[in-house]
Structure 1
Amino acid sequence: MPAITVTDIGKAFGSVRAVEKLSFTAEPGRVTGFLGPNGAGKTTTLRMILGLVRPSAGTALIGGRAYANLPSPLTTVGAVLEAAAFHPGRTARIHLLALCTAAGIPTGRVERVLELVDLAGAADRRAGGFSLGMRQRLALASSLLGDPPVLILDEPANGLDPEGIHWLRVLLRGLSAEGRTVLLSSHLLAEMEQTADDLIIISGGRLVAAGTVDELIGGRGGLEQTYLELLRGTR
């Protein structure tokens, strides 16, 4: 299973440096939590890993290759960067079938991923009528179509109720237990504490801390307290 390796990556938009000399690794078989305040550079970093934004410096590699050089990117990496990338008039099933056809993925995967994300009962409803939580589930289903060994998820719990958040935690832990690499951005610190194995914390586009959840918390308080202390430079 491939790892995600980010080395001294940077991105400037004009005079604004969104990310600067950021390095970290997300390992197979583990959920790596990616934390930082709004504007910290998390989404820009994820987009650089996925080849959607060209780095100004450094590299972002998946299994030692840039995303653009992967021989089969759609069956190597599944990504959720937003929950609205679908035609509102299509049903969930038709949306997924269209993605399979475009990507050369066997259409038999559609029923499997609908079951995985608990959307089988809504598969023939138009996606435009879905709640935010259901759109998140559909986006996650799309990312799983190619049965990828790597998942990159930006705030996948947005719009999920507490039961849905618990379901997502169980799903992600199960996927990582299969050996997959899961890189997860979220603002839900208490949930991240229960879901992630490793944490990457950034602020102002720079690395603040990296390590396992147990290493960073160190038996003192929970993740929320640790996170705030790290951002303030008091830990």
Structure 2
Amino acid sequence: MSAISVTHLGKSFGAVRAVDDLSFTVERGTLTAFLGPNGAGKTTTLRMILGLVTPTDGTAVIGGTAYRDLERPVSTVGAVLEATAFHPGLSARTHLEALRIAAGLEAGRVAHVLEQVDLTGAADRRTKGFSLGMRQRLALASAMLGDPEILILDEPANGLDPAGMRWLRGFLQACVHRGRTVLVSTHVLAEIGQIADQAIIIGGGRLAWQGPLTSRTDLEELYLEVTR
């Protein structure tokens, strides 16, 4: 069974059709790039997969189950939809501890995810002093707290410098190497093209292209061709 399955998904906001009859699958153990121009419907689609937006039509399921019906959602899927939702007066460690306690996770998970995202040295700093790149890493740590099988990431490369981009590429590759499934929305085509197994490209809320990527695939050229 696919990790994520979207079937004839649609969403209207008044007269605006944000997502229109969209169908695709994300296979287990793969890194899938979710691509499209600004306003193509990517974030709305991710929010419907995560149960944050109710579809007008169709379905979006995770392992065959709607997000709201998952027994242990925090251990099934981790998500990063924005990297700014942190209380400025809390440290990274305190933020993660609050999430851990609310989710009923074991105490050692906080130190583990801080190490995973290379934030151990900044764990007791208040998040108001964090750069955008550090906020991205803290958001990833939050998503990893439940040791999820699936990661859904919306523009995790925003604000990263070249060193941060290299780190993110290695982090995503390590996730897939350990058997996780990653669905990542991004505009950084050159970077994601190096590591993604497949791509889903949408435009105007509809599927433009889905397929595997190989070392010979020029993702930027393909993207421009199907989104003209």
Deviates more, 1:164-173 or 1:145-154: 164-173
Equivalent position of 1:73 in the other structure: 73
Instruction: Give the direction of change, closer, same or farther, for the CA distance of 1:231–1:2 in structure 2 (3 Å limit).
Output: closer
Report the equivalent of 1:165.
165
Q: How do residues 166-185 of structure 1 correspond to structure 2 at under 5 angstroms?
A: 166-185=166-185
Structure 1 residues 14-53: aligned runs within 5 Å: 14-53=14-53
Percent of residue pairs bearing the same amino acid type? 66
In structure 2, stretches of 5+ residues that fail to align are none
Calculate the aligned-residue CA RMSD, in Å.
1.3
Tell me if the contact between 1:2 and 1:181 (Cα under 8 Å) persists in the aligned partners: no
Q: Which amino acid aligns with 2:140?
A: L
Aligned length: 228
Q: What is the correspondence of 1:217-232 to structure 2 with a 5 Å cutoff?
A: 219=216, 222-232=218-228
Which 4+ runs in 1 deviate beyond 6 A? Answer: none
Please tell me whether the aligned partners of residues 33 and 192 of structure 1 are also in contact (alpha carbons under 8 angstroms): yes
TM-score of the pair, normalised by structure 2: 0.97
SS across alignment from 1:82: coil
Q: Residues 197-234 of structure 1, C-alpha deviation per residue, up to 9 Å, x if partnerless?
A: 100000000000000113xx8x47x21122111112xx
Cα distance per residue 1:141-163 (max 9 Å; x no partner): 00000000010000011111111
Give the conservation status (yes or no) of the 8 Å contact 2:2–2:25. Answer: no
Aligned equivalents of 2:47 and 2:101: distance in 1?
Answer: 24
Shift of 1:107: 1.9
SS of 1:93's partner is helix
Q: Distance in 1 between matches of 2:2 and 2:146?
A: 15
Aligned partners of 1:178 and 1:124: how far apart in 2?
A: 29
| C-alpha separation in 1, matches of 2:98 and 2:138 | 13
| Aligned equivalents of 1:201, 1:134: Cα separation in 2 | 28
2-structure distance, mates of 1:91, 1:199: 36
- Any unmatched runs of 5+ in structure 1? none
Q: Which residue of 2 aligns with 1:196?
A: 196
Q: Distance in 1 between matches of 2:116 and 2:179?
A: 17
